Structure 1
Amino acid sequence: MATHFHKKPNTYVSHVQIKVSNLERSLEYYKNIIGFDVLEQTEKAAAFTTDGKTSILSIEQVDNALPLQRGQTGLYHFAILLPTRKDLGNFIQHISHLNVQIGAGDHHVSEAIYLYDPDGNGIEVYADRPEEQWIWNGNTVYMTTEPVNFRSLLNLADGHWNGLPKGTVMGHIHLSVSDLLKSEEFYTKALGFEVVTRYGSQALFISTGKYHHHIGLNTWESLGGSPSSEKSVGLKSYTLVLDNEEQAEKIKGHLKEMGHVVERFEGASKYGGHQEFSTIDPSGIRIVFTLDGE
Structure 2
Amino acid sequence: MTYFLDPNLEIGQVKLRVSHLDTSLAFYQEVVGLRVVERTEGTAALAAADSQTPLLLLEQIPNAVKLPRRSAAGLYHFAILLPNRKALGLSLRNLIRSGIHIGSSDHLVSEALYIADPDNNGIEIYADRPRSAWQYEASGHVKMATIPLDGDSLLAEAGDAEWNGLPEGTKIGHIHLHVSDLRETEAFYNGVLGFDIVAKYGDSALFISAGGYHHHIGLNSWAGAGAPLAPSNAAGLDYFTVQFSDAEQLNHTLERLQSKGVAPSQLKDGAWIVHDPSGIAIHLVI
Q: 1:189: Cα distance to partner?
A: 2.0
Is the 1:112–1:124 contact (alpha carbons within 8 Å) kept by the matching residues of 2?
yes
In 2, the alpha carbon distance for the partners of 1:31 and 1:222 equals 33
SS of the aligned residue for 1:223 comes to coil
Counterpart position of 1:154:
155
Q: Which ranges of structure 2 fall in alignment gaps of 5 or more residues?
A: 1-5
In 2, the alpha carbon distance for the partners of 1:126 and 1:222 equals 27
1:87 aligned partner, one-letter code: A
Is the 1:37–1:52 contact (alpha carbons within 8 Å) kept by the matching residues of 2?
no
Matching of residues 131-142 of structure 1 within 5 Å:
131-137=131-137, 138-142=139-143
Q: Which ranges of structure 1 fall in alignment gaps of 5 or more residues?
A: 1-7, 268-274
Q: 1:242: Cα distance to partner?
A: 1.7
SS of the aligned residue for 2:271 comes to strand
In 2, the alpha carbon distance for the partners of 1:56 and 1:173 equals 12
Give the TM-score, by structure 1 length.
Answer: 0.90
SS of the aligned residue for 1:55 comes to coil
Counterpart position of 1:105:
105
More moved, 73-82 vs 138-147 = 138-147
Counterpart position of 2:54:
55
Q: 1:9: Cα distance to partner?
A: 4.4
Give the TM-score, by structure 2 length.
Answer: 0.93
In 2, the alpha carbon distance for the partners of 1:222 and 1:25 equals 30
In 2, the alpha carbon distance for the partners of 1:221 and 1:258 equals 28
2:279 aligned partner, one-letter code: G
Counterpart position of 2:190:
188
Deviations 1:250-290 (A, max 9, x none): 322333344434111123xxxxxxx4311111011000011
In 2, the alpha carbon distance for the partners of 1:178 and 1:167 equals 34
SS of the aligned residue for 2:166 comes to coil
Q: CA RMSD in A?
A: 1.4
SS of the aligned residue for 1:141 comes to coil
More moved, 239-248 vs 82-91 = 239-248
Counterpart position of 1:88:
88
Deviations 1:217-255 (A, max 9, x none): 000124211111111110000110123333333322333
In 1, the alpha carbon distance for the partners of 2:118 and 2:63 equals 15
Deviations 1:156-178 (A, max 9, x none): 11241000001101010001011
2:52 aligned partner, one-letter code: K
More moved, 89-98 vs 245-254 = 245-254
In 1, the alpha carbon distance for the partners of 2:243 and 2:51 equals 20
Deviations 1:188-208 (A, max 9, x none): 122121000000000011011
2:58 aligned partner, one-letter code: I
Counterpart position of 1:265:
267
Counterpart position of 2:125:
125
Matching of residues 237-276 of structure 1 within 5 Å:
237-267=239-269, 275-276=270-271
| Identical counterparts, % of pairs | 45
Counterpart position of 2:27:
29
